[in-house]
Chains A and B, each alone.
Chain A
Amino acid sequence: MGSVRARGSCTAITIAIAASVLVVRGQTPVERHTIFENLGLPAVDEGLIVDETHAPNTPESRRRASTRAALHATSGRNSGRYVAGRLVVKFRDQATEGERMSAIADASPTARLERRPSYADFDIVRFDPAEDAEAVAAALGRHAQVEYAQASYTGWHTMMVPNDPLYATRQWNLPMINLERAWDLQPQAGSAITVAVLDTGVAYQNATLIETIPAFFDDSGNSYPALGRVTIPYAGATQLMAPGRFVAPYDFIWENAIPLDFDGHGTHVTGTIGQLTNDGIGTAGVAFNVKIMPVKVIDSVWDFLFGSPNEATDELVARGIRYAADNGAQVINMSIGRAGPPNRSFVVEEAIKYAVSKGAFVSIAAGNDFEIGNPLEVIAEIASRVDGAVSVAAVDRAKAHAYYSSTGSWVEMAAPGGSERGFGRDGFVFQQTFDFNFTDTFLMPPSQYIAPRFDVLAYIGYIGTSMATPHITGVAAMIMQQGIKSPAAVEAALEQTAIDLGSSGRDDTFGFGLVDARAAMRGLGLAK
């Protein structure tokens, strides 16, 4: 039966691919990036892979990040910290059309207003890429009818760093937050709640990709050959997919409704929030019955090489936040962020406030840069000023500060992010995602470089505040299901019931302390 189905699937794929080839040959130019949704063989499940891990600041992690940065830099699309020739502006409501045009003209003679993008309360101004975007934004910001203007800052990255029957043997992180007894209180584990995951996308369906992959130079200047037109298998994460699980998916990197994860980070994060649980397979998730809204706002190396039109910027992430809030997300997970300077992001701050005002709780990674200068984490810092949004630091298996977890006034909560130091592979946070030996082929030498495949899944250990954040997100979803609907009240419940770590009271390392899922959900009695 299985082989018949497999043959049938193969035949269907072959026909589809042949048809696509016939179609694309008749067109000019050829589509670089084509996705056949829900068409593909089931995933290859490799089970637990202990020796493959993602951790902050490992050579592999640095290469992924630098290769992505190098690709963007060589494209000429951005000048390092921000996108060249583009800025974000928000005019005051009473500003007339004439005043807007006048303000733009005063800021730069080459500037023109673009059509307002979807899910934005701000506008995009284009101008000559040779001009300094920060200088133009500053000039525009001085106009009386301008609320704020800022360059289109890049530097966005996932907070991962990457690593379940496996619950008993590998998932130290879930018992640590008293989750088993929280599940006793709420066996339905968040079934009425929608959680938006703003990340690199999610492996939420099977698909077949047809891509044209160009040559490129990596961060070391090595030349990688063009792979031409290739067919790439793509499989949804078997431990995430269930009927009705995914709602309103959207991809702001590709501006379409197919936010497939070409990195693995978003899928891993989503697993911690809502991995299928009690099914006798793999790992468990925190709020394992929530609905997931995959919102892709972070691009990966493969997005770039597949020809994505957008990259992660302040305004793109802001649009993602607004999209999630407008489409019914009650909790938003942002295992993403960027460090300063600049140390403000008006557009993201307004979007977070907007989401909270729409009833969405937001959890944001506090940053992984403790050992590399511990800079201000701009987005996490916003969370610390908004009731209803929290920034999340990471602890290791011994409830101690994870070596990479950024510290500062913005830290509000702590959750298990994992650490290999002192614990080896046992210190990682495991969930199902892609086996990156099959996806991150750009890390191989050019001679061994091949097209990726996104259909080989395994339980991989990641570490980072990216991994800590979905613990808070999952618990927040369960708190909301329990009846605390206001985002600010959810934050208060989390903070008031946290297990105080470090110095007494709130501190810059652990915030109010380690999340206690059961205590946060139990609320209060009359006298105790």
Chain B
Amino acid sequence: MIRTARARHQGATTEDTDANRGHGSVKKKIRGLSFSSSSSVASVVALFHAAVAISLCIPGLARAQPPDNRRVVTRSDRSGLSLRPFVMGTEQSFHATETFETAFGQAHEPFIGGGLQVVVQDRYYVEIGASRFRRTGERVFRFNDENFRLGLPLTTEVKPLEVTGGYRFHPSPTLIVVPYVGAGFGSYGYTETSPSSDPDENVDARHSGFVLTGGAEVRVHRWVHIAADAQYTHVPGILGLGGFSKAAGENDLGGIAARLKVIVGR
């Protein structure tokens, strides 16, 4: 029993070490990505690739682990209910491409936020997340598919509050990577202000939308996990009712986002 226990202990140590090695290589990749507002569409793609890389490469590493490691992973993660706070960074490519490109010079923007995840029996999860994006661009005008920037400041803020639930897959007991899919709904706050506007000319609206998510999570420390996923949101009812978005025929404030989450907890 003592030997077995030591073996477990050693195994756990080895697992953590290997996982950290794997995490180290992933971290290097992630550091190469930028969440700055000036990043290009390429960064969204790169972030998505990182998510895919995590979900594909880490399992390979995990499979190489000694058999003793498996039991530790499966037993600890499947024990009841865990509360896991997280922080996240998102790079979203908006569906309203022309609207955002004209006003801000690009159609993908960074969101920063956080939330709380509740995991039940390591299989089911419910997550509430809030994030925020704020950017100042210019007021614009559109005529016959020709767009003009007017040099008048326009500040937009988007504040999603999303509740999603989903399923965490454990395709093999040897995997330390947990793929997951989820869906949910969100309430999306949107403000649009301009120094030249009267109060009634500004926009302060909130509308619901829905969310689809898929990605993978990997444990990098006993209490720390990193998750990368892709998220699709559809948010009608804010854009397309007036202003440039109406002129451009774009009515969805949602988009496709690559998200990176750092989760704390079991």
Interface residues on A, range: 10 to 19
Q: How far is the CA of A527 from the CA of B190 in the complex (A)?
A: 9
Contact call B148/A526, Cβ cutoff below 8 A: no
Within the complex, the shortest CB–CB distance from B174 to chain A, in Å, comes to 49
Contact call A493/B241, Cβ cutoff below 8 A: no
The contact of A493 among B141, B154, B243, by CB within 8 Å, is B141
Chain A residue numbers with a CB within 8 Å of B244 are: 523-526
Given the contacts A184-B196, A185-B152, A483-B149, A524 and B140 also touching, CB distance less than 8 Å: yes
Within the complex, the shortest CB–CB distance from A188 to chain B, in Å, comes to 11
Q: Report B134-178 residues with CB < 8 Å from chain A CB.
A: 139-144, 146, 148-152, 154, 156
Given the contacts A484-B141, A489-B141, A493-B143, A524 and B152 also touching, CB distance less than 8 Å: no
Contact call A522/B238, Cβ cutoff below 8 A: no
The residue in chain B whose Cβ has the minimal distance to the Cβ of A497 is B141
Give per-residue flags for B37-50: 1 if the beta carbon is below 8 A from chain A beta carbons, else 0: 00000000000000
Contact call A521/B146, Cβ cutoff below 8 A: no
Q: How far is the CA of A184 from the CA of B198 in the complex (A)?
A: 13
Within the complex, the shortest CB–CB distance from B20 to chain A, in Å, comes to 44
Contact call B152/A527, Cβ cutoff below 8 A: no
Q: How far is the CA of A521 from the CA of B239 in the complex (A)?
A: 22
The contact of B196 among A185, A483, A528, by CB within 8 Å, is A185
Chain A residue numbers with a CB within 8 Å of B141 are: 483-484, 489, 493, 523-524
Given the contacts A489-B143, A493-B143, A522 and B196 also touching, CB distance less than 8 Å: yes
Give per-residue flags for A506-528: 1 if the beta carbon is below 8 A from chain B beta carbons, else 0: 00000000000000011111111
Q: Judge whether B242 is part of the interface by a CB distance below 8 angstroms.
A: yes
Within the complex, the shortest CB–CB distance from B249 to chain A, in Å, comes to 13
The residue in chain B whose Cβ has the minimal distance to the Cβ of A525 is B243
Chain B residue numbers with a CB within 8 Å of A522 are: 139, 150, 152, 194, 196-197
Given the contacts A185-B196, A484-B141, A489-B141, A527 and B150 also touching, CB distance less than 8 Å: no
Within the complex, the shortest CB–CB distance from B2 to chain A, in Å, comes to 67
Give me the interface of B with A, judged by CB distance under 8 Å: 96, 99-100, 103, 139-144, 146, 148-152, 154, 156, 190, 192, 194, 196-197, 201-203, 205, 238-239, 241-245, 247
- A-B CB contact pairs (8 Å), 12 listed: A483-B148, A483-B149, A522-B197, A523-B141, A523-B148, A524-B141, A525-B203, A525-B244, A526-B239, A527-B203, A527-B238, A527-B242
Give me the interface of A with B, judged by CB distance under 8 Å: 184-185, 482-486, 488-489, 492-493, 521-528
